[in-house]
Structure 1
Amino acid sequence: MTRFHQAFSLALEGRFDAIWPDLQPNDRTLGALAVYRNTAVRGRIEALEANFPTVSELVGREWFRAAAREFVEAHPGNDPVLADFGSGFPDWLATFEPARDMPFLAPVARLDRAWTEAHLAPDAPLLGVVEASAAGLALTGRPARLHPSVRIFWFDWTAPSLWLTHRYPDGAGDLDWRPEPEGLLIYRPDDAVRARRLSRSEWVFLDACRKGRPFGVAALTASASRPSPDLPSLFSRLLRDGLFSSPSAQDRRS
């Protein structure tokens, strides 16, 4: 970014000092900057609406755009990639006073954000059934690596069911907000982002993998969860879902 472009970006935030050496400080210039600024703000509001569709659907478009404007005014950002805009929106929403009576909004926003992260995550070779079978017991000692797109969550409330009902309306869902623990997996093993609920044992296993524990340690950790899981079936399902990066690919990059 050139000095002028940087100064122009600051001017769109209302900080004009840096740009006056390049432009005439008169009403015409201020009017033109206001037009650019309004266009930039509108673009970010629309990006936020596109990146958090579940939140928008829950509160309605008018409420969402009013809240989005406040967020954009406070956090305009400088990344031109608007598909990734709004990383701080879930945390901001948790402190937004008009949302105080809607405690489900911030968790749902986190899940919308995770969908975007999974969508934009880099590709990576997957650990498949054939490679896992060929490794045999040696695989238990290998550090597990989740695919870059994988995002896992565990909530004390039914945020996953609420989010899934809106984001994937064709599946069985539940619109109730209840104090019941639920886990959620968001991932993109191919071209489409997918999501499903996780059992407690699946979440414990994947959480250990997220921390870089060996597969064997992840299995032992999951075996202590309740109800006691069928570990071979659990690992087989996670493997079929395409949740792990191939260890052989990691070795080639080393």
Structure 2
Amino acid sequence: MLATMNYGMLLDRFAASLVDDTFAPHGIAAESRERMDIYRNNARINRIAALADAFANVVQLVGADYFGALARAYVDCTPAHSANLHDDGDGLPAFLRAFEPAADLPFLGDVAEVDWLLHRAYFAEDVNAIDASTLVELGPDRFAAASIRFTPSVGLARSHRWPIADILQMHIDGTPAQLGTGGQTVLIWREGFRVRWQTLAQADADAVSALMTGRSIQEAFSQTEADASSLLTQLFGLRLILAIEERHEARI
């Protein structure tokens, strides 16, 4: 019987052989090595199928065949870093932005980023958001100095050039998206089993972005033109806030 460590090493080598056609793992019988192409092909097919499910809006824009070709190019040069296929694809937006064959579709990377956040929102951990009534005990000064932690499903997709919200809406009701209208920002979250999204104005997007990076509530709104009362009421109303975190400075 193989020792546990040796068995683990064998699995690692087998996994490596699935992404490297030239790698012949030790411990695999010679007569089996020629069949490795079957496993490699199945692994690629499964990854490509998972990517097609995760990037539905990109698929609608380019078609299934075109997406299959670019997904295969991505899979061939990007090893999977997780055994969970739902984790595959986090690098696809950046890949598409640099993918020369898709240079005539420069908006694909930004749309892929939206798709990935929609996908991650669906599979995000279930948590209980806090209620705005819990803020009463903080008082205005402590609240302003605190930072916000969002629920795991919340994501913010920002495109400085492309109308990503209009592209999403186009795939819902058929309203054509005008690519020349400029960039848009989309706030993404999940309610129950349904993923939601909405367009954010630039000022609100700037504030949410700052809050996501850990800026205090006061800092986030002092650096933008967003209406703090209106935006925070909306965020709490949608139940997107997991916690209000106070900063505890060291005392001498």
Matched, 1:108 2:111: yes
- Contiguous gaps of at least 5 residues in structure 1: none
**Who is 1:244 aligned against?**
241
**What pairs up with 1:64-213 in 2 under 5 angstroms?**
64-137=67-140, 138-166=142-170, 169-170=172-173, 174-213=176-215
Given that 1:161 and 1:174 are in contact with CA atoms closer than 8 Å, whether structure 2 keeps it comes out as: no
Aligned CA-pair RMSD: 2.6
Q: Is the 8 A contact 2:163 2:181 kept in 1?
A: no
Q: Write the distance in 2 (CA, Å) between the matches of 1:173 and 1:150.
A: 26
SS in 2 for 1:219: helix
Secondary structure in 1 matching 2:128 = coil
Aligned to 2:13, which of 7, 32, 47?
7
Distance 2:128 2:149 in 1: 11
Q: Deviations over 1:64-107 (max 9, x none)?
A: 10111111111131422111211111111111122100111110
Q: d(CA) in 2 for partners of 1:150 and 1:106?
A: 20
Structure 1 residue 194: Cα displacement: 1.1
Q: TM-score, normalised by structure 1?
A: 0.84
Query: How many residues are aligned here?
Result: 240
SS in 2 for 1:158: coil
Residue in 2 that maps onto 1:53 = 56
* Segment drifting more, 38-47 vs 183-192: 183-192
Q: Which has a greater percent of strand?
A: 2
- Once residues 131 and 176 of structure 2 are traced to their aligned partners in structure 1, the CA distance between those partners, rounded to angstroms, is 33
Report the alpha carbon displacement of residue 230 of structure 1 after superposing the two structures with TM. 4.0
Aligned partner of 2:215: which letter? R
Q: Which runs of 5+ in 2 are unaligned?
A: 1-6
Contact kept, 8 Å, 1:161 with 1:173, in 2: the verdict is: no
Q: Aligned to 1:127, what secondary structure does the other structure show?
A: coil
Identity %: 27
How far did residue 125 of structure 1 move?
A: 3.1
Contact 1:209–1:215 (8 Å) recurs in 2: yes
**Residue aligned with 1:247, SS:** strand
